[in-house]
Amino acid sequence: MQRWDRIEAFVEVVRLGTFSAAARHLKVSTSHISRLVSQLENQLGVQLLYRTTRQIRLTDAGALYAEHCRHLFDGLRDAEQAISELQAKPHGLLKLTSATTFGERYVAPLVNDFQRLHPQLEVHMHFTNRPVELIEEGFDIAIRMGVLKDSSLIARRLCGRREYVVGSQAYFRQAPRPHTLGELSQHRCLLGSRPNWLFEVHGQRREVKVEGCWSSNSGPALLDAALKGLGLAQLPDYYVAPYLASGELVSVLEPFQHHDTAVWAVYPRHRHLSPKIRQLVDHLVDQLIDHFFVGKTATYARCESLTVCLSQLQFWAHLLMRVCC
């Protein structure tokens, strides 16, 4: 404890410029401050300050020691602030953006639950399928899907997400099911907001450019077109799960399904993350995993497993036929 008092006295003398100012700040006598600094110099075996009647000046050793001590005190203040923020309640304005359908279905209800717990928080949610510039447009958090681009932003995984290439029973009565990525060129593909479809081949990500005479930037419109037999679509699980379970849609090309397409909370890098951001992200992580993705119905889980097995069998049978021929 005495050693800490000596260091604190020295740091305050350097920061405030005089022994008397340091004494007033620490609420002790000037002679006590002088004694503590002298004891620190004796302890270190080196002179830290040049003292005159008018001013004090750091020695080379004093300047080096002061710099290291300053980092020590900065770290202490940071630790105290972090603990204070940990205990603080979320407050102020929270601005969040997300893709439209996922935001409306899953993010908005969870954010509303969070605001019920913290009524002092003001919330603004903006749902759009266009890429949002998080910092430039003043958002605190963005919910993003799939593979993220490298950036200076912090990204925390909220939950898993899988994309399926699907077609209706009616569509497959007039077109054979594809077993290789090359066969997509023989099908009518329904285009969403991305020109390329994402797959995985031998553990490597592969983007395949698809073409078709139908396009929309709306996920529900894309789903409706697939259900009505207009072609193949690539859609995430939260769109197609019930229709795969009911058999209205059929999943194809599952051996090439990309597995690194999670849902992420993305936010700017701050030295201290505000309670409103940290606690909301924690809330979303807990609730999304429990509420949706782990909570798939048993029917869909069985259907999904069976679909994967059938798709793999069809894939290998198709390859075997080509080899034999």
Q: pLDDT tens digits for 149-199?
A: 767 889 999 988 889 999 999 999 999 999 999 999 999 999 998 889 999
DSSP class of 185: G
Pick the CATH number of 163-260+297-324 from 3.30.530.20, 3.30.420.40, 3.30.70.660, 3.40.190.290: 3.40.190.290
φ and ψ at residue 272, rounded to 5 degrees: -125, 115
User: Domain locations in the chain?
Assistant: 2-87, 92-160+262-293, 163-260+297-324
Q: What does the alpha-carbon distance between residue 157 and residue 178 come to, in Å, rounded to a whole number? A: 32
DSSP β-bridge partners for residue 96:
125, 141
What strands lie across the sheet with 163-168, from one edge to the other? 233-236, 163-168, 249-252
Measured between alpha carbons, how far is 280 from 143 in angstroms, rounded to an integer? 12
Cα–Cα distance, 223 to 214 (Å, whole number):
12
pLDDT digits (tens, 9 = 90+) for 268-278: 887 667 889 99
| Chain segment 49-87, per-residue pLDDT in tens | 998 777 789 999 999 999 988 888 888 878 877 777 666
CATH of 92-160+262-293, one of 3.30.300.30, 3.40.920.10, 1.20.140.10, 3.40.190.10: 3.40.190.10
Residue 246 in tokens? 């009911």
CATH architecture of 2-87: Orthogonal Bundle (1.10)
Residue 298: predicted pLDDT: 36
Token pair in block for residue 15: 């920061």
DSSP 291: I
Predicted local distance difference test score (pLDDT) of residue 76: 81
β-pairing verdict for 263-267 and 154-159? antiparallel
Identical topology for domains 2-87 and 92-160+262-293? no
Burial of 325 by CB count in 10 Å (0-12 exposed, 13-18 middle, 19+ buried)?
exposed
What sections of 177-297 are H helices per DSSP?
219-227, 237-246, 275-288
182 φ/ψ angles, rounded to the nearest 5 degrees: -65, -25
pLDDT of residue 311: 47
